[in-house]
Amino acid sequence: MDSSKKIDMFSGILIFIISVTLFISTFGFQQMTESRVGSAFFPQIASAGMAVMSLLLIVSPLIQKKIKEKTVEGDGRKSDMDGITEREAGEAEAEKVKKNTTGMSSLQYCC
């Protein structure tokens, strides 16, 4: 697993711990109204959302690893894009377009 995926997992774990701590601390808020929607409602919703997003951040590298393993097993070969960053892929695509359009007149290119 490369370092960016490890960083994602560790930061997801840290954010999950913070969100659980925040959620638990909202039970100590003083209730000012008779309704269920009180001063703790929004912090509980926000901390629950943070927890869900941090779980996605933790699980996504593991899912990507399993998908990559299955594609390698199914094909018996790696795809052309393995190990290439998005920027490099964009540059390669731009180079292909540049090669294809070289020598064309502007009329041929636009129509």
Both tokens assigned to 89:
């892929």
Name the pLDDT band for 97 (thresholds 50, 70, 90). Answer: low
* pTM for the full predicted model: 0.57
Distances in Å between the Cα of 83 and the Cα atoms of 66, 92, 99 are 16, 14, 24
In this predicted model, what pLDDT tens digit does every residue of 22-71 receive, in sequence order? 999 998 888 777 777 888 889 999 999 999 999 999 998 888 888 888 88
> Is residue 108 one of the residues assigned to a domain?
no
* Distance from C-alpha of 13 to C-alpha of 18, rounded to nearest angstrom: 9
> Is residue 107 one of the residues assigned to a domain?
no
Residue numbers of the domain that contains 36 = 3-101
In this predicted model, what pLDDT tens digit does every residue of 1-33 receive, in sequence order? 678 888 889 999 999 999 999 999 998 888 777
Look at the chain and report how many structural domains it folds into: 1
What is the model's pLDDT at position 1? 66
> Is residue 106 one of the residues assigned to a domain?
no
